[in-house]
């Protein structure tokens, strides 16, 4: 089973117990050399971010089976929510995913280099003047406005090999998508649609994470009504949370993103998805303190009695939010250790008084995200959402990807 059940993380994190020695990484339950890493790289790492690609693939397979016969695509924008498109997208393709969504044309070009045979949709659509880039790389623009459609039709009429398109309808978010008046004007100009090859009509739910919101049903009804202005095409309205609103929302295609990466698509209920990341920070210093000492900038935490503190080389520059000051926590050996004082750019202080001395030492690791404390839990303490947690993960972490082999099985 993908995830952390193999128990090999302790072995592969041996540098924490052996004084900054980290000679190998975990790949599918076995240890192998870290390619492209020197011992110096490993010794000076301030944090280790482990990304379970097999768990991501398993999440996609679970959703694909749930929505069949609808197609399950994969949203891989923002570098797969910050987790590494170059590792994750090929594994999803090998597992059977054929349709992918990115945010902008540059992401689409990067993905095309990885996946020559994939259907790649670009959510922003053409910005004006970049239509040839879509054609050159076989990218499917999501057309969001009448002006985008008019521009694309003009480009397509030049016979420049314009690829197929998706059409986005606004059903209540007032963000991207054609409005109802725009659709009516489009219906009055059939030559625009005649110049292109639409293959999908899509919209986006505003309140999908609230299954009780009446807006979900209203938007679905609106999509069906407004789509009548267009040729009969496959439709899509559900992203991760929308999938769990029921089969009526699956239509022809679903577009999971957050759920693939372990975020809970059903807030307030048990998470049906496997966790996919583990973030561990390295302890730089351990110090004994006593009242009336204070901790961190602004002296916002006052020590009461004798305490032991661990200073960890992770801060808000690494995605450990400043809003976690005096309210977040980490884990050492299954014991919660609270953040004390303000989180600074490169450092966070934890109270490790309740942890055995041998478990919290310079060079040792503290779990910041992982089993029992996933991105959604961190987000709740930081007063944000799991999406921001994932995409904010800094580039100073030493990253490793496990489960990249055999992901198609």
> In whole angstroms, what separates CA 313 from the centre of its chain?
24
Vertex 194: Cα angle to 237 and 101 (nearest 5):
30
User: Is 336 annotated as catalytic?
Assistant: no
Residue 293's contacts (CB-CB under 8 Å, 6 or more residues apart) are 302, 303
345 assigned to a ligand binding site = yes
Residue 83 token pair: 């987790």
**Residue tagged active-site, from 158, 189, 297, 306:** 297
Residue 273 token pair: 């998805």
Q: Which ranges in 339-406 belong to alpha helices (H)?
A: 375-382, 386-391
CA distance 56 to 276: 6
Contacts 24+ apart (CB under 8 A), 377-380: 378/324, 378/328
CA distance 112 to 122: 11
CA distance 394 to 317: 6
C-beta of residue 76 within 8 angstroms of C-beta of residue 100:
yes
175 assigned to a ligand binding site = yes
CA distance 337 to 364: 14
- Asked whether the bond before 292 is cis by omega within 30 degrees of 0, the reply is yes
* In the block, residue with structure tokens 């053409």: 126
CA distance 185 to 196: 16
Q: 373 by DSSP, 3-state: which?
A: strand
C-beta of residue 60 within 8 angstroms of C-beta of residue 74:
yes
Residue 227 token pair: 């789509």
User: Is 77 annotated as catalytic?
Assistant: yes
**Residue tagged active-site, from 77, 278, 282, 373:** 77
C-beta of residue 100 within 8 angstroms of C-beta of residue 74:
yes
C-beta of residue 141 within 8 angstroms of C-beta of residue 148:
yes
- Please state the residue numbers annotated as binding site for substrate: 175, 345
Question: Which residues are known catalytic residues?
Answer: 77, 297
- Please state the residue numbers annotated as binding site: 175, 345
């Amino acid at each position: 089973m993908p995830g952390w059940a193999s128990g090999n993380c302790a072995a592969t994190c041996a540098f924490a117990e052996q004084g900054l020695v980290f000679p190998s990484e975990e790949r599918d339950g076995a240890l192998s050399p870290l390619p492209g890493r020197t011992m110096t790289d490993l010794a000076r790492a301030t944090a280790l971010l482990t990304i379970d690609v097999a768990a991501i693939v398993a999440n996609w397979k679970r959703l694909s089976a749930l929505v069949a016969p609808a197609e399950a695509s994969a949203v891989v924008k923002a570098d797969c929510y910050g987790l590494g498109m170059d590792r994750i997208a090929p594994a999803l393709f090998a597992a059977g995913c054929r349709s992918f969504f990115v945010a902008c044309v540059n992401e689409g070009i990067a993905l095309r280099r990885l996946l020559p045979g994939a259907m790649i949709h670009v959510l922003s659509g053409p910005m004006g003047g970049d239509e040839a880039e879509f054609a050159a790389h076989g990218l499917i623009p999501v057309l969001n406005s009448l002006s985008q459609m008019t521009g694309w039709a003009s480009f397509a009429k030049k016979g420049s090999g314009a690829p197929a398109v998706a059409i986005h309808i606004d059903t209540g978010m007032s963000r991207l998508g054609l409005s109802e008046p725009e659709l009516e004007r489009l219906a009055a100009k059939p030559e625009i649609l005649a110049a292109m090859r639409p293959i999908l009509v899509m919209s986006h739910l505003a309140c999908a994470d609230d299954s009780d919101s009446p807006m979900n049903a209203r938007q679905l009804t609106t999509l069906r009504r407004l789509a009548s202005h267009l040729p009969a095409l496959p439709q899509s309205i559900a992203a991760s949370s929308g999938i769990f609103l029921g089969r009526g929302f699956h239509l022809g295609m679903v577009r999971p993103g957050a759920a693939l990466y372990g975020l809970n698509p059903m807030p307030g209920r048990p998470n049906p998805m496997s966790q996919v990341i583990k973030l561990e920070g390295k302890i730089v210093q351990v110090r004994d303190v006593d009242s009336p000492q204070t901790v961190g900038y602004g002296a916002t935490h006052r020590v009461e009695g004798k305490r032991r503190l661990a200073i960890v080389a992770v801060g808000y520059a690494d995605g450990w939010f400043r809003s976690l000051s005096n309210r977040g926590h980490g884990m050492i050996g299954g014991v919660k250790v609270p953040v004390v004082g303000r989180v600074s750019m490169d450092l966070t202080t934890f109270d490790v008084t309740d942890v055995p001395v041998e478990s919290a030492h310079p060079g040792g690791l503290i779990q910041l995200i992982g089993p029992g404390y996933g991105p959604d839990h961190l987000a709740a303490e930081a007063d944000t959402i799991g999406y921001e947690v994932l995409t904010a993960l800094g580039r100073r972490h030493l990253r490793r990807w496990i489960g990249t082999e055999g992901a198609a099985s």
